[in-house]
Structure 1
């Protein structure tokens, strides 16, 4: 096996022509949103040397990444790992795509750029599960630290941070009509849809400025790529984490034709996301022992919760309306308005998000059955509080083998019922005068709950927000403690969406960056 100092002469050099060292203070696995943010903050707050390993390319100068209007072109392209959830009768046995960013910046470089924090009770709930210090008031400063908010600094927002945050302006006819219709329906107008307890309708907030994506890569990592203490390797495929006794000592990875082991002087940090982080733990012998033994993997630590608690938001794509008048040029991220609402008035807080769409947002199953004219728009309901839980498992000890990824979408009856109600609410919004006068034809007609249920099976899919597979907590199935350290292994921490014990009622990019900001403070404090 080649060691770091034995790299072949033909191996590409690192950015800045830096020589790869045999040891770094910190090795960060994954250059997605969390990895970019954590790397930057550790450079800012410590004098440590850092190796950042990313399995994909850098993605620089790809127009579908930079131009906010083109983001759908990323899905299924060369910058998408294009994973799949296991099919299920709950979703009509249809193919369920799971986009994951295959580029520096990860999914934060290919997603729809919706900037949402969630409800304050999301984080208070984490704290109530035994995760002291993760309540909303405690995490708010880390959300603020990310932001360069268009209205400037306040008690609730930050200014001067790495990621520019703006309301989606100028607005679009579909967004304007949805906001007006929602108010006629009875929803209050939200000046800021990122309030403590968002319930109502307003302009979407997005990490977009002047039509361009403000990505975690651009904001956090790109400005420090030439830092002498940082080495970034793209196209570096991690095979496993090196464990000696009860300590993580380094990482084994493939870089082009070289198999390399690099040592970590202080910590290895997994920031590979809710799919790859548990996969790497299990390949390294950390996970459910019996499952690992059955695959011929030598167990190092029996952690039953690895790969468990997988869950995701559910997005309905198929409520399409033909307009009477030209809709005009698309802008922003092809959306612009968002509503947070309850599927049932008995709920304590909203469990639905309804998004405007300037174009037809349709699932593959719907697209296969229906042809849509050009002048169409959509309303896309999403279930943002989910009760269903799934699992991720290895199928093989081969690091390149596909995984068993089953989010069990709509596995719980309550989730399905909530989405039935969401369709009814969306159609009520479409029937309000402000929206109805825009509509020429509804392309997917559903007249009763039975027809809605059949529609949901075809329209439902992942909102591409997988979380929870290395859950934070103190119970028997927790993988990391509230300091994000893996239970039972020294020198190993996880910093990404996999640690979320319960998914926030929001898109997960902002919460993931918050976790990275929080983790950087924890690590820097320990380094002092």
Structure 2
């Protein structure tokens, strides 16, 4: 692809559509509106362009992106359930959003995830309904199948040469009762398989690269980076514009047709509350005048807990990192009576332990890690603004491990991952456990889980879709009781799916575009 830059166009007073946020949910909306209508579109992005930046493009170097120039710097609030630790929650602040800073995983979970959305009152969001939108987004290296799409904006590939730790996990899985499957994005996700990556010719393929770069020269599209949205304009029950910063100064830009919020599960509810849309009691506490009562704004926060990590001593040097530093994924059931896999593991070509575990165990020397995560989590938290300042602090609480079933599943997953390390496939690599440094009792494993609990970076649900009183958007992603306002990001997810959230949010963006154009 030729070198790309963001064209500079003068900011107009009004556009047909304004999209706030350029990540997995916003980029598809922009692309489809430009491709399929004659509308003018303004895309407002708080971050920088991030184009041709080596650390963003290099799939091996994504971890440091989570606490630097390209990150919002958010944290989950401490909780006794994770032994009072603060857990960082990286969110991309750059064109492409978190798709430009994440682990490059393309994974849609289990078909039952989306059937559960339909059962929860989200009409026409069953897996059968959403599959065409997943396929539309994909340019899958394996070509068109019943389950996969080709020719879409997002390149999706698998490892060209699995790292030794990734290969050992794949080959050892059958010895712990986990079958090997070809593709986690096909009929079933239960098993061990090579990961699907948004990676092409050795470089990250973000939503910005796939959806936005090809249309940047279109005169009907204005992309404004470095511009943070600070409020919505609501007039007579309709959203008519966005207040945002340009060169640090507030301006108001109008939308004649629709405003689309795609700022993510943290900043979309914040923007709603700043605009007087939310729980009347919360707004009163903050001193924000009530414009439109929606008590579910900021509620229903969900994320996947991840125990970082089971760390092992290596018998030999691991060599250079490959792919995203992982390469394979395992999905299995923590209990045989479950309808679908609930736990998940992946390799790390080095040390991925949480700081507390690094304090407790000697991790010197050559080590590798295996994450033990819960994808079918049940614990639910919340997001609160602590001041009415658009740049003020937030209390973001996922309530990790609040549900006993979540804790039990993670205890089981840690045991399975330790069993995996002792299979024949690891014979040439595994030289003993580092963290934990021995087999643990159940009570000790619970403490290990609390000390090692981290995040998959999958916050969602804070402006959920549905029909009940806590829902914020309807099944067409329109905000209940307001005209002219659509939400297209992870905040609308009613029940967290059992996967990385980039793929489902991309699907949501594809559907939002169809709803806006009257095509669905």
TM-score scaled to structure 1, two decimals? 0.95
1:172 maps to 163
**How much is the aligned-residue C-alpha RMSD, in angstroms?**
1.4
CA distance in 2, matches of 1:437, 1:470: 49
Counterpart selection for 1:183 from 174, 177, 188: 174
Superposed CA deviations along residues 227-268 of structure 1, whole A, max 9, x for unmatched, are 100111111111100001211111111111432111110001
In the alignment, is residue 138 of structure 1 matched against residue 121 of structure 2? no
From the superposition, tell whether residues 37 and 199 of structure 1 become closer, same or farther in structure 2 (CA, over 3 Å).
same
Structure 1 gap ranges (5+): 1-13
Q: Could you say what secondary structure the match of 2:309 adopts?
A: coil
Instruction: State the secondary structure of the residue aligned to 2:245.
Output: strand
Q: Residue 266 of structure 1 aligns with which residue? A: 257
2:455 maps to 1:458 = no
Q: Kindly indicate whether residue 281 of structure 2 is the aligned counterpart of residue 290 of structure 1.
A: yes
Look up the match of 1:406. 397
State the 1:374 CA deviation.
4.2
Give the corresponding residue for 1:508. Answer: 501
> Which residue, 112, 116, 128 being the options, matches 2:119?
128
Q: 2:16 aligned with 1:35, yes or no?
A: no
Maintained 8 Å contact 2:25/2:489: yes
Corresponding position: 1:366 with 2:357: yes
Conserved? CA contact 1:75–1:110, under 8 Å: yes
Matches of residues 263-412 of structure 1 in structure 2 within 5 Å?
Answer: 263-412=254-403
Aligned residues: 514
Contact (CA 8 Å) 1:211, 1:331: kept in 2 or not? no
C-alpha deviations, 1:407-455, integer Å up to 9, x for none? 1111111111110011011111112122244211210224211111111
**Hey, what does 2:54 align to over in structure 1?**
63
Asked whether the equivalents of residues 191 and 203 of structure 1 are also in contact (C-alpha less than 8 Å), the reply is yes
CA positional deviation for 1:196: 2.9
Tell me what 2:42 maps to. Answer: 51
Q: Deviations over 1:259-300 (max 9, x none)?
A: 211111000110000000000101101100121012111101
The C-alpha deviation readout for 1:40-83, integer Å capped at 9, x for no partner, is: 11111111100111111111222111011111121211111120
- Asked if 1 retains the 8 angstrom alpha-carbon contact of 2:109 and 2:184, the reply is no
1:439: which partner in 2? 430
1:471 & 1:17 partners in 2: Cα distance?
Answer: 35
Separation in 1, partners of 2:251, 2:186:
47
**C-alpha contact (below 8 Å) 1:174/1:377 kept by paired residues:** yes
Q: Following the alignment from structure 1 to structure 2, what is the Cα–Cα distance between the partners of residues 239 and 180? A: 51
Q: Which residue of 2 aligns with 1:82?
A: 73
**TM-score if structure 2 supplies the norm length?**
0.97
Q: Are 1:472 and 2:465 counterparts? A: yes
